[in-house]
Structure 1
Amino acid sequence: MPPTPASNDELRHLEQIMEQAQEVMRKFQEAQTAILEVTGAGEGADGLVRAVSDGRGGIMEIDFNPRAMRLDCATLGREVTTALQAAQQEAERRSQEIMGEALASAEAMPEPLDETFVRDRVEQAARDLFS
């Protein structure tokens, strides 16, 4: 028995959903790769300490201006902390932007089919068999 026009439409709809789902997954994979490449940079208040962080908050680099060695221990510690926090916040902001774009594509997905859809299709198939 050939498919009914409604089932052809449903097949096209399901194919579109599958294509959209594949596209969303591709965007998530791209986002994951991009986040692994994210870096953020930050400086201490006086610019004597510079830090670079990766997209997961890990410290990649800390640079000290030679003048930083003139600072007392407490001030140098604050400068390092400020630089690291700024770098991590920048990397986090960039990572969130990337993830936000990927999540936006998922929000465009249609609502999933519910049990009434399946029940209606089974009833339609039964009617078609006994007609």
Structure 2
Amino acid sequence: MTSPPTPDEDRRYLEQLITQTRTAMDHLRQAKRLIGEAEGTGEAAQGLIRVRADGRGGLIGVSLNPRALRLDTRTLGAEVTKVIQAAQEHAGRITGEIVQDAVARAGGLPAPLDETFVRDRIELAAADLYSERP
């Protein structure tokens, strides 16, 4: 619905809103689970250094081939930094795709009803009560 419901449509509107909200929440819960399972990877120094990052960018694994230790400390530090950033960026791309998909699948929820809606309903109820007086 694009406009506020009439009093006769309130129940149907509320049921529709609840259904849409549940669907959106299901998609967001699934996205949260997928982000928790996501893993980005990075590789540097011709495969001698490998890193894995989780969906939030935290490091979950670093692998150094013993030959990587032959690099001078400055080069080793630069390569480790580069591979960590690559793994985190990869995880960020995966997470971004998951979030975009979840938002698209959740669909748009209707705009919340404002205070004029509540005021109108109260005035209608008061008018109904007043008109029923003996």
TM-score range, shorter chain: 0.7 to 0.9
Distance in structure 2 (CA, Å) of the matches to 1:59 and 1:48: 17
Q: Which moved more, 1:33-42 or 1:89-98?
A: 89-98
Gaps of 5+ in 2: 1-5
The two structures, once aligned, show a CA RMSD in angstroms of 1.9
Distance in structure 1 (CA, Å) of the matches to 2:61 and 2:115: 54
Match of 1:41, SS?
A: strand
2:110 is matched with 110
1:20 is matched with 20
1:10 is matched with 10
On the 8 A contact 1:48/1:79 being kept in 2, the answer is no
Q: How far did 1:31 drift?
A: 1.2
On the 8 A contact 1:51/1:63 being kept in 2, the answer is yes
Q: How far did 1:45 drift?
A: 5.1
Distance in structure 2 (CA, Å) of the matches to 1:120 and 1:128: 12
1:126 is matched with 126
Match of 2:95, SS?
A: helix
2:54 is matched with 54
On the 8 A contact 1:41/1:86 being kept in 2, the answer is yes
Gaps of 5+ in 1: 1-5
Q: Which moved more, 1:21-30 or 1:33-42?
A: 21-30
Distance in structure 2 (CA, Å) of the matches to 1:128 and 1:42: 68
User: What TM-score, normalized to structure 1?
Assistant: 0.84
With over 3 angstroms needed to count, the CA separation of the structure-2 counterparts of 1:117 and 1:109, relative to structure 1, is same
On the 8 A contact 2:27/2:106 being kept in 1, the answer is no
Aligned positions, number: 126
Distance in structure 2 (CA, Å) of the matches to 1:116 and 1:107: 26
2:41 is matched with 41
Match of 1:47, SS?
A: coil
1:97 is matched with 97
Q: Which moved more, 1:76-85 or 1:61-70?
A: 61-70
- After superposition, the C-alpha distances for 1:40-89 in whole angstroms (9 at most, x for unaligned) are 00111533211111112221112223432321111111111111110011
